[in-house]
Structure 1
Amino acid sequence: MALRDSSLPEPSGPSRPTAPPLDAADRGRLLAGAHHDPHALLGARPVDGGTLFRTLRPHARGVSVLVDGVRSPLAPENDGFFAAVLPYAEVPSYTLLVAYEDGEHEVHDPYRFLPALGEFDLHLIREGRHEQLWKALGAEPMTHDGVAGTRFTVWAPNARGVRVAGDFTCWDGTQFPMRSLGAAGVWELFLPGVGEGARYKFEITSRHGGRFLKADPMARRTEVPPATASIVTVSHYEWDDAEWMAHRGDVPVHEAPFSVYEVHLPSWRPGLGYRELAEELTAYVDDLGFTHVEFMPVAEHPFGGSWGYQVTGFYAPTSRLGTPDDFKYLVDALHRAGIGVIMDWVPAHFPKDDWALARFDGDPLYEPGDERRAEHPDWGTYEFDLGRVEVRNFLVANAVYWCEEFHVDGLRVDAVASMLYLDYSRDSGQWTPNVFGGREDLDAVVFLQEMNATVYRRAPGVVTIAEESTAWDGVTRPTDSGGLGFGLKWNMGWMHDSLEYIRHEPVHRKYHHHEMTFSMVYAYSENYVLPISHDEVVHGKRSLVSKMPGDWWQQRANHRAYLAFMWAHPGKQLLFMGQEFAQGGEWSHADGPDWWLLDPGYGAEADHRGVRDLVRDLNSGYRAHPALWQRDTDPAGFQWVLGDAAEDNVFAFLRFDAEARPLLAVSNLSPVVRPGYRLGVPRGMPVWQEILNTDSARYGGGDVVSRGPLLADEGALRLTLPPLGTVWLEPVAP
């Protein structure tokens, strides 16, 4: 377009009217980043004699208004302000020509646009009921009034002013102050020409006068740590998992097979990104037959040594491994292989990094105002203020976000016990009772119920799983019956008791026999997962196989027998990476599993590969026998055959499927062979056969196995029990 200098008709009188000067207070507040309504001062608006144009462009050498190819210069007003009254009776469609040392740039004026966020969104935010909050807050690329750009919105109710700073402003927010949208505490600005890939933060001026840069709490993509900027992003991913999504909820999870492989993605195979993991991890998990993977937290976190449990970017998959679309590719690949995806979710606390959520607008916002209540005593972090509806909304919408945007099939909620109790890890005088004088955190109860109810309503087929280590009643009871509404709960009691038993030398195990049987006293009080998680193989606790007593042969035999006992026990299974092949060393987040143990040159066939083969067979046998999973929450699905053989270190029980077909599991956790061991079995089933024996030579055992049919005599079966072994048997149809 050929530009012409202004030839607008001059108004009557000696000269064109000059722009009225800015009020000194308004000018000072704009320059200080402390103005709540910059759109009332910047942009264009009718005045006597024409239209007043004013812009704030620090470091510009000159600014002109361009209308229909005609440029009209604005007069400098110092400090980066430029203004003029031009003789337009109405505000025209215009752009700005801004001259810098590197040349002149034509741009749209952000201050000519109406708000790009609707009143209904603001109403839902005020009420704490915006279930897709990520579509209202954060950085949203869009076309607004025919112009492409990005809408920036942020919740900062205590701020005196908020500005957008980014790589497109050389990290100086002066020229882009945001407007307050009123009682919701939301600030908004549409920036034309800013699009995907732009790095940004919010420059906040607190009511105390401080000014600081904050990452976007709703950022959907971030820089790779240790860099901390948020990145404007748009998803271009096209999903290919429609069949999985349509049928994942066909069978309730507590009545379906559910064996989980827990993974720390950055260290599973160090150096692999999401897309490489989509190939290698999917193939590995599919080969071993796990029904699900569980990712330790993938939300962005600044310190890798936190394993993801100190989250700063609740809406952004960690950029260490790729883009958000790359993470979708990984989930999609697992779904296409028939593998579900569970993600660790951390709503209990957040770190104090000064560029993140802590004192976000200069005052406690996401954390409680009471410093005693705000501090998480165990981790040096802040707890969320769950009594504030906007904070609850931030977290509830976040749970929905991962399920809807990334198709995850479950959320394992971390540290639920620390949320439920006001006195958690606190001494007397360090906490205040609730309104009823109790120790229960009623706000946390309401939050967890709301989160579960919302997720289950919006994302059919998803399961929520509580890591809850106390005897809180009703963790997996529906919310309409007064429960917290989780689908499953980690059985920390079973984990602690069984590991305590198995670590003892067999000669002492008879004194701890109840630690293996006590779980059945409460097995049906909740819907349980049996977890051998990352927490049990770090910090001096030793790996699972290294917890076992005896020499290397006995350790592996104990390991195998324990896993088969676990897979047969009522409840779902979870095993952390490396334990599926009896890694001897503790897990290191820097190095990951000791894959070299599986190398043929190491002689791993009888050692580590044998254990891995067992885990594969445990999963295939588990899937093939509904007795092991169909009635996990039904007491009629379990029956002790022998629960009191403490002197023998033997446990035997029956599992039944919905058709009452049995499976017999027998564990001999002593190091001696027990020939002709008599066990009662259901009458009318005269012939039985072994379907799994952890002492098989192919697993590295001594091969004390029964290869032929076993005959029951009047409801009694005589077996030869292998040493430190677990055997599964099923009846043979006549």
Structure 2
Amino acid sequence: MLAGRHHDPHAVLGARPHRGGVAVRVLKPFARSVTIVAKGLRATLLDEGDGLFGGLLPLAEIPDYRLLVAYEHDEAEVHDPYRFLPALGELDLHLIGEGRHEELWTALGARPMEHQGVAGTRFTVWAPNAQGVRVTGDFCHWDGTATPMRSLGGTGVWELFLPGVGDGALYKFDITRPDGSHTLRADPMARRTEVPPATASVVTASAYAWGDAEWMAGRGARPVHAAPFSVYEVHLASWRPGLTYRQLAEQLPAYVKELGFTHVELMPVAEHPFGGSWGYQVTGFYAPTSRMGTPDDFRFLVDALHRAGIGVILDWVPAHFPRDEWALAEFDGRPLYEPQDPRRAAHPDWGTLEFDYGRKEVRNFLVANAVYWCEEFHVDGLRVDAVASMLYLDYSRGEGEWTPNEHGGRENLDAVAFLQEMNATVYRRCPGVVTIAEESTAWDGVTRATHHIGPGGFGGLGFGLKWNMGWMHDSLEYVAHEPVHRKYHHHEMTFSMVYAYSENYVLPISHDEVVHGKRSLVSKMPGDWWQQRAGHRAYLGFMWAHPGKQLLFMGQEFAQGAEWSEASGPDWWLVDPVYGAAADHCGVRDLVRDLNRVYAGAPALWEQDTVPEGFSWVVSDAAEDNVFAFLRLAADGAPLLSVSNFSPVVRHDYVLGVPDRFPAWQECLNTDAVGYGGSGIRNPAPLRAVPIPSHGRPAALRLTLPPLATVWLHPVLRPL
């Protein structure tokens, strides 16, 4: 008991019937005396040494008793933790043992509750290799000698109900490893943590009353792949540095709504020790980072976004975890959350550890975590980070550094099964939620249903959307070239249409593309400052019109010239009237607002994103001109014509074929507008279609193409 190696302290401590009465034994190190207090009874226990007190009470049955514990300078009357039955039910234990507890956070961790009529907190932890586990915290002066936990059968779960411990208490688990040494660990299931660099877990219970019932009821009304979906990616800690969740709730929803984005995507908010990891090295998978407030404060932010009509997508990181000695690594003295084989456990790119997806309890930990964020925090989507690193056994590994699967292949079959289970569970339990894969390879069927078997013999992974990393890489390569050289790279802008319908895609210009020397989006563009901004605007117009949803990282909406820094965030002074907001930056921001406004009102741009019927090239081979023109089509056939001129020259009388059933067309957006910082070259409205066959179509338009610009046109649907 004193060494922390006892599996069943309740068999030794507490009160139990005994020959001649009721035997009571209490472990209270540093106490001078312990007295049993009950109705009509007051009995001082014998000091048996080493903090153990005991005695035999001449009673027929166990009374409802308390302990009066006297220390050198004070005394306290408390409940005896070892008189309580287990506070975790048999069904919970069965589901944990099966690896099928979809609400795992209700069974493991620290849960304030009333048990046997007494208020306290139930502590539970999975540590199957431990010789013993004790809970310790500020409620026992961080000495867990008197609070050993009991093992509940063969599930590896340890439990202890501590009366009197409640919301806000700090705690950790003192685990005795198989070799007898001790390790002090944060709770893997903690719902709240201390502010880093402190590492204790915090007992918490939510008291939040949600106000987003209307949003939650309606969010699944239209399938996401056939709905407007325009995402603003945010690093919360640096969007407005220093703001709390509740202060962000006062500013972020209004800003995003003004710009017309349908969703925000939050870079990981799960607790992480190193801010420079941007949240991608997680230690507290069930706890929103405490840097900006409490879990209920984060709920307040999500609620505020929903009430503003904005969906919330959360970056989720089930691919790996850091090696911090107080967190998950070798949690109970042996590899537990990570694979036993160190070659398979070590993530070669980030110095972290991969999860053991083949272990049912680990898979359950992650699947339940995905459900947790959706149900407890009402998030509308999970963007799953680094999926490719999970899918391949040889990811970033050389010959001899990995072992094949049971079929001799390089696919991580356990990871495939985990992702399928996660997606199936989330979609079943959380209507209206979308899962999004950041997957950088050509893995077949990322957004295919899990029960549909593909050519490779695998069922689909079951994601709703996938980041189109190929489009991102190719298109950024193209625009980085000087216009005079772009004709040699024309295919980089058209190749995406070869595979555009192989998956349901998101076009991402994310944080990864504007850090580490890659330069901001506007700074990737060649030429002088006017040409850079014009190229930036033209690229955004092309992106918003291209099949697929779109995502833009903060700061790029107003053409910030500097790379993003997590320490300082976006350069708000560029668009802040207090600092004499620069018209050129404000113009780009106005363009993004108008792109989203026109996009939301044009079903042609989103209704058929994932089927070939929604797109038709008009001009795909005008390499000498640096021109791309295509039609987007709504389900009812209503078209929108997008024309991009990535050359710094004006092109007059540019002929483009169009359907003949629309006699006239007019501009609905022009990235060269003066208000956006452009030169103001526009087409008069309306433009009449002439019955001259062109580009395989029966009619044609003659347009003036502004330099380094994208123009959108739609038919005039009223009499001229």
TM-score range, shorter chain: over 0.9
Q: CA deviation at 1:707?
A: 3.7
1:721 aligned onto 2:705: yes
Paired residue for 1:192? 163
In 2, distance between residues paired with 1:376 and 1:208?
26
What does 1:389-468 correspond to in 2, within 5 Å?
A: 389-468=360-439
Conserved? CA contact 2:522–2:533, under 8 Å:
yes
In 2, distance between residues paired with 1:632 and 1:599?
36
Q: CA deviation at 1:708?
A: 2.1
In 2, distance between residues paired with 1:57 and 1:600?
64
In 2, distance between residues paired with 1:519 and 1:413?
22
In 2, distance between residues paired with 1:732 and 1:469?
41
In 2, distance between residues paired with 1:69 and 1:343?
58
Q: CA deviation at 1:642?
A: 0.2
Partner of residue 311 from structure 1, selected from 282, 304, 313? 282
Residue deviations 1:700-731 (CA, integer Å, cap 9, x gap): 00000124211110110000000000000000
Partner of residue 597 from structure 1, selected from 556, 574, 581? 574
In 1, distance between residues paired with 2:47 and 2:519?
70
What does 1:235-314 correspond to in 2, within 5 Å?
A: 235-314=206-285
Paired residue for 1:50? 21
Where do 5+ consecutive residues of structure 1 fail to align? 1-29
Q: CA deviation at 1:602?
A: 5.8
Conserved? CA contact 2:285–2:369, under 8 Å:
yes
Paired residue for 1:698? 675
Q: CA deviation at 1:696?
A: 0.3
Paired residue for 2:465? 488
Paired residue for 1:644? 621
1:580 aligned onto 2:557: yes
Partner of residue 120 from structure 1, selected from 91, 95, 100? 91
Conserved? CA contact 2:573–2:581, under 8 Å:
no
| Structure 2 CA distance for partners of 1:90 and 1:250, relative to 1, 3 Å | same
Secondary structure of 2:312's counterpart equals strand
1:569 aligned onto 2:546: yes
In 1, distance between residues paired with 2:269 and 2:310?
18
In 1, distance between residues paired with 2:173 and 2:595?
52
1:731 aligned onto 2:715: yes
What does 1:538-577 correspond to in 2, within 5 Å?
A: 538-577=515-554
Q: CA deviation at 1:378?
A: 0.3
Q: CA deviation at 1:225?
A: 0.3
1:35 aligned onto 2:12: no
Conserved? CA contact 2:195–2:291, under 8 Å:
yes
Q: Percent identity?
A: 78
Paired residue for 1:522? 499
In 1, distance between residues paired with 2:395 and 2:183?
33
Secondary structure of 2:703's counterpart equals strand
Paired residue for 1:688? 665
TM-score computed with the length of structure 2 as normaliser: 0.97
Paired residue for 1:507? 484
Q: CA deviation at 1:634?
A: 1.0
In 1, distance between residues paired with 2:85 and 2:577?
68
In 1, distance between residues paired with 2:75 and 2:576?
63
In 1, distance between residues paired with 2:72 and 2:480?
73
1:631 aligned onto 2:611: no
Residue deviations 1:537-558 (CA, integer Å, cap 9, x gap): 0000000000000000000000
In 2, distance between residues paired with 1:532 and 1:306?
19
Paired residue for 2:116? 145
In 1, distance between residues paired with 2:575 and 2:397?
45
In 2, distance between residues paired with 1:496 and 1:102?
69
In 1, distance between residues paired with 2:129 and 2:275?
32
Look up the equivalent residue of 2:280 and give its one-letter code: Y
Residue deviations 1:583-616 (CA, integer Å, cap 9, x gap): 0000000000000111347664431000000000
Look up the equivalent residue of 2:601 and give its one-letter code: A
In 2, distance between residues paired with 1:208 and 1:510?
67
Residue deviations 1:403-450 (CA, integer Å, cap 9, x gap): 000000000000000000000000011100000000000000000000
Secondary structure of 2:30's counterpart equals coil
In 1, distance between residues paired with 2:650 and 2:354?
54
Paired residue for 1:25? none
Range with greater deviation from structure 2 (83-92 or 253-262): 83-92
Secondary structure of 1:470's counterpart equals coil
In 1, distance between residues paired with 2:270 and 2:73?
39
Secondary structure of 2:689's counterpart equals strand
Secondary structure of 1:713's counterpart equals coil
Residue deviations 1:189-235 (CA, integer Å, cap 9, x gap): 00000000100000000111110110000000000000000000010
1:109 aligned onto 2:80: yes
Paired residue for 1:79? 50
Paired residue for 1:98? 69
Secondary structure of 1:350's counterpart equals coil
Partner of residue 129 from structure 1, selected from 100, 104, 112? 100
Q: CA deviation at 1:104?
A: 1.5
Secondary structure of 1:479's counterpart equals coil
Look up the equivalent residue of 1:688 and give its one-letter code: W
Secondary structure of 1:701's counterpart equals coil
Where do 5+ consecutive residues of structure 2 fail to align? 453-458, 692-698
Conserved? CA contact 2:574–2:582, under 8 Å:
no
Q: CA deviation at 1:101?
A: 2.5
Quote the RMSD (CA, aligned, Å).
0.7
In 2, distance between residues paired with 1:687 and 1:548?
34
In 2, distance between residues paired with 1:601 and 1:712?
48
In 2, distance between residues paired with 1:554 and 1:600?
25
Conserved? CA contact 2:538–2:708, under 8 Å:
yes
Q: CA deviation at 1:77?
A: 1.1
In 1, distance between residues paired with 2:619 and 2:579?
40
Secondary structure of 1:698's counterpart equals helix
In 1, distance between residues paired with 2:622 and 2:687?
22
Secondary structure of 1:639's counterpart equals strand
In 1, distance between residues paired with 2:367 and 2:163?
31
Q: CA deviation at 1:274?
A: 0.4
Paired residue for 1:89? 60
In 1, distance between residues paired with 2:293 and 2:240?
15
Partner of residue 320 from structure 1, selected from 291, 303, 315? 291
Q: CA deviation at 1:665?
A: 0.1
Range with greater deviation from structure 2 (421-430 or 596-605): 596-605
In 2, distance between residues paired with 1:233 and 1:600?
42
Residue deviations 1:30-73 (CA, integer Å, cap 9, x gap): 00001000000000111122111101001111101111152100
| Structure 2 CA distance for partners of 1:510 and 1:603, relative to 1, 3 Å | farther
What does 1:61-80 correspond to in 2, within 5 Å?
A: 61-80=32-51
In 1, distance between residues paired with 2:684 and 2:58?
100
Look up the equivalent residue of 1:570 and give its one-letter code: P
In 2, distance between residues paired with 1:433 and 1:708?
63
Secondary structure of 1:433's counterpart equals coil
TM-score computed with the length of structure 1 as normaliser: 0.96
Secondary structure of 1:364's counterpart equals coil
Partner of residue 674 from structure 1, selected from 639, 651, 660? 651
Paired residue for 1:210? 181
Residue deviations 1:5-31 (CA, integer Å, cap 9, x gap): xxxxxxxxxxxxxxxxxxxxxxxxx00
Matched positions, count: 705
In 1, distance between residues paired with 2:581 and 2:534?
15
Secondary structure of 1:51's counterpart equals strand
